[in-house]
Amino acid sequence: MTTTVSPGRSTNRLVAALGWSLVALAGAGALGYLALSRGESVSAAWLLVAALSTYAVAYRFYSAFIAASVFALDDARVTPAERLSDGRDFVPTHKWIVFGHHFAAIAGPGPLVGPTLAAQFGYLPGVLWIIVGVVLGGAVQDMVILCASTRRDGKSLGQMAKEEIGPVAGFTALVAVLGIMVVLIAVLGLVVVNALKSSPWGTVTIGLTIPIAMAMGLYMRWLRPGRVLEASAIGLVLLIVSLYAGRWVAEQPELASTFTLSGKTLALLVMGYGFAASVLPVWLLLAPRDYLSAFVKIGVVLALAIGILVALPPLQMPALTRFTDGSGPVFAGALFPFAFITIACGSISGFHALIASGTTPKLLERESDARMIGYGAMLMESFVAVMALIAACALTPGVYFAINAPVAALGSSVQSAAVAIANWGFVVTPAELDLLAKQVGETSLLSRTGGAPSLAVGMAHIFSRVLGGSGAMALWYHFAIMFEALFILTTLDAGTRVGRFMLQDLGRHVWAPFGRTSWTPAILLSSAMIVAMWGHFLWQGVIDPLGGVNSLWPLFGISNQLLATVALCVGTTILIKMGKARHAWITVIPLAWLVIVTMTAGAAKLFSPQPRLGFLAHARFLRSAQASGTLPPGVSSAADLARMIANDYLDAAVAGFFLLAVIVILGDSIREWLAVLRGAKPARSTEVPFQQRAAVAGD
């Protein structure tokens, strides 16, 4: 038998094979160059080429493999959006719109902050983990969960964990999600507080975004009902006005001192805001803010991409710094495992599994769209992380560490900071630090931990090179701060509200009226409870002399990776029950890596003998100080000392809970896998049976 291939077709295939080989070679070459270059600064172009060509090859081949061989996505199969079409939740939507919607939902401050913090190891660990992690881990997780949920009428991750693995895993997942929300909101709150501390310009600009959102809400409800785009356009113009208003206030000495707030005051204001967002009607604050944030998000991501492409800044940070040994000032812990905990969003983010099993599966028009939306949108998010890394590494290491190291490491003057940084082997003069602060319109940039200010300085550098020159640095800096804070506050307010609903849902088992979601006392009580939960961690971060980020960001990373563990366990279980056990490696490989990383990082945070790293060791250190009647540096009173000791134990308990949750979910999943593989249990999943598309022609 002979196969007939037309000459034209075989030429096309040859060209395609050649083309893809070139893309793969370009990616491998750029990665190799980045890995081997030492000494001089390298251009960001290498990083972009490495990332984009890896994404292209992975999307073209790996996601196609998952779509065709693993899930066998079939456009003849009717999607829940069509079958259950109700014009509200289930709405068949064009794939590009779902892509935009999904991307806007998954992209938050995480991929901006994580890579910025991880830059203390140098650019190489971050870029490798972002690129490799996303193509083998994060994008796979998002796509697998999206496919699984789409075939189950858009069921949530928690429901799937319960039905596919078992009730123990399901309940653990539910409690874990609540725990993650609390830690996430606290750490994001801390990032905002640190960005606005002693900055009247930033405080006024961000503060004004709240009345702007409310004005938009009122406009859309009473003045011109439903005119979302009109209101958003007005809102965007007002955001620019608020940027200039902030500058004006900062220039009036008297007003400026009124709005120069301490970390503690700002923390209380952020808590008040979270409470208000949870209690007020959604149309008044949450929804308009969310629309505004979606536009700003997509706009700034595009602008940043263009800015980086035009400016192609050289990376000043070395490939690897001496801090890979764990002595870094930004956060404690060695390259392994802490680079993989610090960068979660951008490589693999368990949180995405909640989105991929939330709104998105109810919108898919065709099954095959899950490839572009699940895998593709995550690649785009990863690219945002690469851009954040570029912006952070475009700063000189001296400036980077001056902004990101805590007061305990730098001291409180530019002179002491320059000395400390020189001891780490980097050069920056006090005059340079003063000049930079002045250029961006701040009194000081020292120890502005949390990642937002240094990213904003990096972005201001890049944007001002393209537009406006160094005279525009201050405006660009505050624009970037506004953009980051807008991101963060939309996660914080929506998260608080969701947390309130979850709390009410759990609490109704104890006291039924607590679960009534429209009963004012229950709303107020549950909102106060959730704010108190994250507020406690936020407060602890604000008074922590080590900067708070040091303890809270790793906790957030561990919790996020825990959620990814849940998602990958659910994914693996579903693959095995689909009879695709031989392909289960696609989720088992990232799962194994995440379990190793979370367990080592969690164990280090718990049991490390170094007080900077281990919560328990830190508690012991503080207790010995307490016993001898002295106060450690940066601690102002005996009461603060006692509170810090209690917080260490609380952090240890939370880390311990996350580790235990990983073990429970993994153990429960392995039990289920073995039972199915051995044949002791029928491979029955809850997938909705195949239904031919033609059957519901029409809608």
Partner 1 sequence: MPFLGKLRRRVAHVGVLLRRVIGAPDYDSYLAHVQRRHPGTVPLTPDAFARDALARRYDRPGSRCC
Residues that bind partner 1 (CB under 8 A): 85-89, 91, 93, 97, 100-101, 104-110, 156, 177, 181, 184, 188, 221, 225-226, 228-229, 232, 282-283, 286-287, 290-291, 294-295, 298, 344-345, 349, 351-352, 354-355, 357-359, 490-491, 494-495, 497-498, 501-502, 517, 556, 560, 698-699
Nearer to partner 1, 89 or 325 (CB): 89
Q: Smallest distance, Å, CB 184 to partner 1?
A: 5
- Tokens 């209380």 map to which residue? 268
Query: What residues have CB less than 8 Å from 574, skipping those under 6 apart?
Result: 144, 148, 160, 164, 685, 687
Cβ neighbours around 100 below 10 Å, total:
15
Contact between 312 and 246 (Cβ < 8 Å): no
Q: Smallest distance, Å, CB 349 to partner 1?
A: 7
Q: Smallest distance, Å, CB 368 to partner 1?
A: 20
Nearer to partner 1, 49 or 294 (CB): 294
Contact between 598 and 561 (Cβ < 8 Å): yes
Say how far apart CA 174 and CA 14 lie, in whole Å: 50
Cβ neighbours around 367 below 10 Å, total:
21
Contact between 636 and 692 (Cβ < 8 Å): no
Q: How far is CA 499 from CA 97, 277, 526, 678, in A?
A: 28, 12, 9, 40
Sign of CA dihedral 82, 83, 87, 90: negative
Say how far apart CA 474 and CA 491 lie, in whole Å: 26
* Helix-then-strand count for the chain, H and E: 30, 2
- Tokens 């991750």 map to which residue? 157
DSSP 406: -
Single-letter amino acid code for the residue at 423? N
E strand map for 349-392: none
Nearer to partner 1, 349 or 439 (CB): 349
Contact between 451 and 126 (Cβ < 8 Å): no
Q: At what angle do helices 110-118 and 452-466 cross, to 10 degrees?
A: 100
Nearer to partner 1, 75 or 89 (CB): 89
Say how far apart CA 77 and CA 58 lie, in whole Å: 26
Q: Following DSSP, what letter does each residue of 589-625 receive, concatenated?
A: HHHHHHHHHHHHHHHHHHH-SSTTT-HHHHHHHHHHH
Say how far apart CA 310 and CA 383 lie, in whole Å: 16
Nearer to partner 1, 186 or 405 (CB): 186
| Stretch (H or E) spanning 547 | none
Nearer to partner 1, 93 or 198 (CB): 93
E strand map for 272-325: 314-315
- Tokens 């263009």 map to which residue? 306
Nearer to partner 1, 229 or 467 (CB): 229
Q: How far is CA 613 from CA 125, 348, 555, 618, in A?
A: 20, 24, 12, 8
Q: Smallest distance, Å, CB 169 to partner 1?
A: 17
Using alpha carbons only, give the angle 316, 321, 324 rounded to the nearest 5 degrees. Answer: 145
Q: Smallest distance, Å, CB 297 to partner 1?
A: 10
Sign of CA dihedral 605, 609, 612, 615: positive
DSSP 514: G
Say how far apart CA 316 and CA 41 lie, in whole Å: 5
Nearer to partner 1, 183 or 619 (CB): 183
Q: Is the bond preceding residue 337 a cis peptide, omega within 30 degrees?
A: yes
Nearer to partner 1, 100 or 545 (CB): 100
Say how far apart CA 121 and CA 115 lie, in whole Å: 10
Q: How many residues does the chain have?
A: 699
Nearer to partner 1, 323 or 483 (CB): 483
What is the three-class DSSP state of 193?
helix
Say how far apart CA 117 and CA 125 lie, in whole Å: 12
What does the block give as tokens for 530? 């959730």
Say how far apart CA 196 and CA 273 lie, in whole Å: 15
Say how far apart CA 312 and CA 310 lie, in whole Å: 6
E strand map for 208-339: 314-315
| Stretch (H or E) spanning 508 | none
Contact between 213 and 285 (Cβ < 8 Å): yes
Q: Smallest distance, Å, CB 350 to partner 1?
A: 9
What does the block give as tokens for 689? 């049976």
Query: Which neighbouring-strand residues pair with 141?
Result: none
